[in-house]
Chain A
Amino acid sequence: MMDPHSEQAASIARLTNYFFIAAAFIFLLVTTLTIVFIIKYRAKPGDKMPKPIYNNRRLEFFIVGVPLAMVSFFFYLTIKTMREVLPSAEGKDPDVVIIGHQWWWEAFYPAAGVHTANEIHLPVGKKLLIRLLSADVIHDWWVPQLGNKMDVVPGRQNHLWLTIRNPGYYEGVCSEFCGRQHANMHIRVYAQEEADFQTWLAQNGEKAKQPDKEPAQQGALIFQEKTCGSCHRIEGTAAAGTTGPDLSHLASRHTLLTGVLDNTPENLNRFLKDPQKVKPGVNMPNFWLDDSTRAALVAYLKQLK
């Protein structure tokens, strides 16, 4: 959080720095007094009964007054920063809709009609409005370098604003405990220049590739037959499920399973063989697929660029 890469994160980092300076001052004051008193007033043989001090009105006024002035100053900064970072989104259309699921992230770009999952591409230099929804329990969107977190609450429409400064890859993670695989609910944000972002968006807006050779064609049939489409969507086929991640362009992503594994055919095969072993608690059932069936499915999925 102290390495801000968005306007919002920079505002918060500035306020945080002011706070740490003030906090360090108070901590040093208390520590110094404590240490001095320990050394100076340690009981010595032959000590007389110390002079009792019951109170001191002037000191009491001072030790209440100074902290009150300090918190008032920080209250002013709080209001100012809150208004910069999170103004109202009343009546505005979101650029991206993020939907939290147990345990993955769905992303939808309403203007382009594009769906994707877990790896979220965003353009730099634009003030984006991100709408946050939940499909089941409370999750929380947090990418530390990009600023404030925001809960994803079922039954509510939350939002946040995001003006990313530099292109790059930013790592985030779900920050509200959401069940068995909360720990692995990573967020991967790819911030891109506008032109690169538009290229990515156009590619992901296309229908999924039809396989043109074996065993991928076989895999496409198995995908429909084994009811994978009840949970997963592949644009342009009958598969239209929304419980699991969209797979239309799976092969164009860097990782699988919110970043648990690199996106390689071997890893995909490993997951299909025993989902619980790779990601304990995941909602994907084990279909007990034999080796050749898995090979066909993997061949189909890896050509979905």
Chain B
Amino acid sequence: MDQWINIPEPTEALPEAGTERGLLEWISSVDHKQIGIMYLLMTLLFFVFGGILALFMRTQLAVANNHLLSPEIYNQFFTMHGTTMIFFVAMPAFFGFAVYAIPLMIGANEMAYPRMNAFSFWITFFGGILLYFSFFTDGAPDAGWFNYAPLNESPYSTNGINYYCLGLLLAGMGSISTSINIIVTVLTRRIKGMGMKQMPLFVWMMLITSFLVLAALPSLNAALSMLLLDRILHAHFFTTSSGGSALLWQHLFWLFGHPEVYIVILPAFGIYSEVFPVFSRKPMFGYGFLVASGIAIALLAFGVWAHHMFTSGMGNVVNAFFSASSLLIGVPTGVKIFNWLGTMYGGSLRFTVPMLFAVAFLLEFTIGGLTGISFAIVPIDWQLTDTYYVVAHLHYVLIGGSVFGIFSGLFYWFPKITGRMLDERLSKAFFWLFVIGFNMTFLIQHALGMIGMPRRVYTYPDLPHYTLFNFISTIGTYIMGFASLLLVINIFKTLRNGKPAGPDPWDAYTLEWYASSPPQLKNFEKVPPITSERPLFDLKQREAKE
């Protein structure tokens, strides 16, 4: 039973710039840990950009008939905010965690394709830079993050749309190559004895997500290429005035766009499924069920896209089909809540910051999930789509679900990544301020939508309740902004003089906590035998007995 597994040296030397050469070492690195860290730093950079745009938007909307931002600028800002947060914050954050943690969690010393790993990061990063370069042209993209035709065509929009197409195509290459890398790494580099049923749930969810990326991105890439042909070579895919189709764009975009929602939520589910067991001191309740429902979500994800189009006049038969599939996908998504609750049940709960974000997620995501169901019910969608109710819903899912997952993962793995513990008081202040600010910003927006305020408006008339509700929402955003500042301060303070963490500060279950903190260039010399999905827990149990 007690068969320790030695990890061999890589058979092939990888290029590296030597040991201590500062920036050059990072730029030339193919080490999965350094690339993971660079992904996370890039995420932080774009999170700051996207957040500043949001602060401007909410300031503009603080009072009725405000003239701080012109409509041209406001439209560019909200387009860039959405595009940034989806493509350059949510996606790369999870890829960052994945390329950092997956090899460590499966007892490997590297990703399957280290050079491609570096390529994926840099192409994604430069895609984002190219997108932001559009601010120096006649304007950033201004047709919304889903960029509907024919508003995205040259007569109606800025040249920023060309940068949108090219930037997202580059980032898309990065996403696809990382996904291939993750799939091959997970399938071929697992340590001996770790079958599929012993894989940590974060690894499972990233595996499923990677297949989703491979299947969903081609539709977006096709749409972006067609749009570029329209704009540069005067093709007519989406130009309605010369026979193109406005709805074709919507179908292509949402055939990517709805799976994209699951691409940025399944990895968060994976992180919560690591955090809940560790801080409840129990195994995950319903491991098999979580994996199966993850796969079910991934398959159903490709049959729900047109619920974004219930008001486009598709007809009741088509609406009924997509209503049924969207209601159905709500079941495996929602039922997971009870798996995490079941894990807490009877446990010994430690409310560290990763656990706090995970518990907050349970409530926020339930709100976001339930309002999501209201969009599967076609007549309710007919009333509420494209209002602030949608804005509220999508932020409850994307912040309360995905971003809380990113924060939970960040606080969970930060001691591993840096070898230092984040300041407990600053971290808890950040948690409470962020959660309060978040709910203050978005809860009231449900009401704004129901009383008739449409989304994507640069200003609004002084109708009853509008000013008060918007003002409350704006104050909430400022609180979130202040909290984010605390997070950045906390990170830099800890890097300078944080308390040393040691290899296993959380008394955790999976292999990454067996490596040193931060891990050496070669992650492991040897790893303990794999006896369940909690190898480190089993090892500690055996050692306690002896």
**Which residues of A come within 8 Å of B, CB atoms?**
1-2, 9, 11-12, 15-16, 19, 23, 26-27, 30-31, 33-34, 37-38, 41-44, 47, 49-56, 59-60, 63-64, 67-68, 71-72, 74-75, 77-79, 81-83, 85-86, 88, 102, 132, 136-138, 140, 142, 144, 147-151, 153-156, 158-159, 171-184, 186, 259, 280-281
Contact of B70 with A by CB under 8 A: yes
A53 and B345 within 8 A (CB): yes
The reply to whether B345 and A41 form a contact with Cβ atoms under 8 Å apart is yes
- What are 18 residue pairs bridging A and B, where the CB atoms are less than 8 Å apart in the complex? A1-B383, A38-B351, A38-B359, A52-B283, A55-B285, A59-B338, A60-B289, A71-B328, A78-B320, A85-B382, A86-B382, A147-B383, A151-B311, A155-B243, A179-B75, A183-B456, A183-B458, A186-B461
Give complex CA distance A74, B151 in Å.
35
Give the nearest-CB partner of B369 in chain A. Answer: A26
In order of increasing CB-CB distance, the 7 nearest A-B pairs are A148-B382, A183-B457, A158-B313, A154-B240, A71-B327, A47-B348, A177-B456
Find A64's partner among B245, B311, B331, B345 (CB 8 Å cutoff): B331
Asked if B379 and A85 sit within 8 Å, CB to CB, the answer is: yes
> Cβ of A280 and Cβ of B71 under 8 Å apart?
yes
> Are the C-beta atoms of B380 and A34 separated by less than 8 Å?
no
Give the interface of B toward A (CB within 8 A).
70-72, 75, 143-144, 148-151, 156-157, 240-241, 243-247, 280-283, 285-289, 311-313, 315-316, 319-320, 323-324, 327-328, 330-331, 334-335, 337-338, 341-342, 344-351, 359, 362-363, 366-367, 370-371, 373-374, 376-380, 382-387, 450-452, 454-461, 463
Cβ 8 A contact of A15, one of B311, B328, B380? B380
Q: How far is the CA of A216 from the CA of B522 in the complex (A)?
A: 88
B362 to chain A, nearest CB (A): 5
Distance of B302 from chain A, by nearest CB (Å):
19
Interface centre among B144, B327, B342, B383 (most CB of A within 10 A): B383
Q: Given A12-B382, A67-B335, A177-B151, are A41 and B347 neighbors across the interface (CB < 8 Å)?
A: yes
Task: Select which of B148, B328, B342, B450 is within 8 A of A53 by beta carbon.
Answer: B342
Across the interface, name the chain A residue whose C-beta is closest to B460. Answer: A183
A153 and B342 within 8 A (CB): no
| Complex alpha-carbon distance, A153 and B240, angstroms | 9
Instruction: Let me know if A82 and B346 touch, CB within 8 A.
Output: no
Nearest Cβ distance between residue A202 and chain B, in whole angstroms? 32
Pairwise interchain contact B316-A1, C-beta atoms closer than 8 A:
no
Residues of B within 8 A of A19 (CB): 373-374, 377, 380
Q: A79 CA to B323 CA in the complex, in Å?
A: 9
Chain B residues positioned under 8 Å from A102 (CB to CB): 156
Known: A16-B383, A55-B288. A140 touches B282 (CB 8 A): no
Q: How far is the CA of A156 from the CA of B150 in the complex (A)?
A: 13
* B315 to A, closest residue via Cβ: A88
Evaluate contact between B379 and A148: CB separation under 8 angstroms: yes
Chain B residue at minimal CB-CB distance from A39: B349
| Chain B residues with CB below 8 A from A172, complex form | 452
Residue of A nearest to B463 (CB): A171
A27 in contact with B377 (CB, 8 Å):
no
Decide: B452 and A43 in contact? CB cutoff 8 A: no
Residues of A within 8 A of B350 (CB): 43
Chain A residues with CB under 8 A of B344: 34, 37-38, 41
- Assess A150 versus B366: contact at CB under 8 Å? Given A75-B324, A137-B150: no
Q: Which residues of B contact A53 (CB under 8 A)?
A: 282-283, 285, 342, 345-346
B424 to chain A, nearest CB (A): 16
The answer to whether B151 and A82 have CB atoms under 8 Å apart is no
Tell me the bound Cα distance from A19 to B383 in angstroms: 14
Given A42-B351, A151-B311, is A34 in contact with B246 using a C-beta cutoff of 8 Å?
no
Contacts of B370 in A (CB 8 A): 23, 26-27
Complex Cα gap A141–B429 (Å)? 45
Query: In the docked arrangement, what's the CA distance between A279 and B246, Å?
Result: 27
Residues of B within 8 A of A82 (CB): 316, 319-320, 378-379
Which B residues touch A175, using CB under 8 A? 385-387, 454-455
Contact present for A150 and B313 (CB under 8 Å): yes
B289 pairs with A12, CB closer than 8 A = no
Q: Shortest distance in angstroms between A40's beta carbon and chain B's nearest beta carbon?
A: 9
B311 touches A149 (CB 8 A): yes
- In the complex, the chain A residue whose C-beta lies closest to that of B79 is A177
- Which residues on the A side are within 8 Å of B244 (C-beta)? 155
Which of chain A's residues have a CB closer than 8 A to the CB of B330?
67, 71
State A159–B313 Cα separation when bound (angstroms).
Answer: 8
A31–B349 CB distance below 8 A: no
Complex contact B286–A60 (CB within 8 A): yes
Chain A residues with Cβ below 8 Å from B247 are 153, 156
A193 shortest CB reach to chain B, Å: 25
Contact among B70, B150, B347, B383 with A280 in the assembled complex (CB-CB below 8 Å) = B70
| Assembly CA distance A37 to B163 (angstroms) | 49
Find the A residue at minimum CB distance from B279.
A43
Question: What chain B residues lie within 8 Å of A47 (beta carbons)?
Answer: 281, 348
* Cα–Cα, bound, A23→B369 (Å): 10
Of all chain A residues, the one with the shortest Cβ separation from B387 is A175
Inside 8 A of A59's CB, which chain B residues have their CB?
Answer: 338, 342
Cβ–Cβ contact B349 & A153, under 8 A: no
Shortest Cβ distance from residue A224 to the other chain B in the assembled complex, whole angstroms: 28
Are B345 and A182 touching (Cβ within 8 A)?
no
In angstroms, how far is the closest chain A Cβ from the Cβ of B275?
15
A238 → chain B closest CB, angstroms: 26
B384, closest chain A residue (CB): A1
Most buried by B among A49, A75, A159: A75
Whether the pair B323, A75 counts as a contact (CB closer than 8 A) is yes
* Cα–Cα, bound, A8→B456 (Å): 26
Q: Contact: A138 with B342, CB < 8 Å? A: no
Cα-based distance from A88 to B313 in the complex (angstroms)? 11
Kindly report which residue of chain A lies nearest to residue B341, judged by CB atoms.
A33
Please name all residues of chain B whose beta carbon is closer than 8 Å to the beta carbon of A74 when the two chains form the complex: 327, 373, 377
Q: Is the CB of A50 within 8 A of B281?
A: yes
Report the minimal beta-carbon distance from A129 to chain B, rounded to whole angstroms.
Answer: 14
Chain A residues near B383: list those with CB within 8 A: 1, 9, 12, 16, 144, 147-149
- B384 near A55 with CB under 8 A, answer no
State the Cβ distance, A59 to closest chain B Cβ, in Å: 7
A67 x B71 contact (CB < 8 A): no
Question: Are B151 and A37 in contact, with the CB atoms below 8 A?
Answer: no
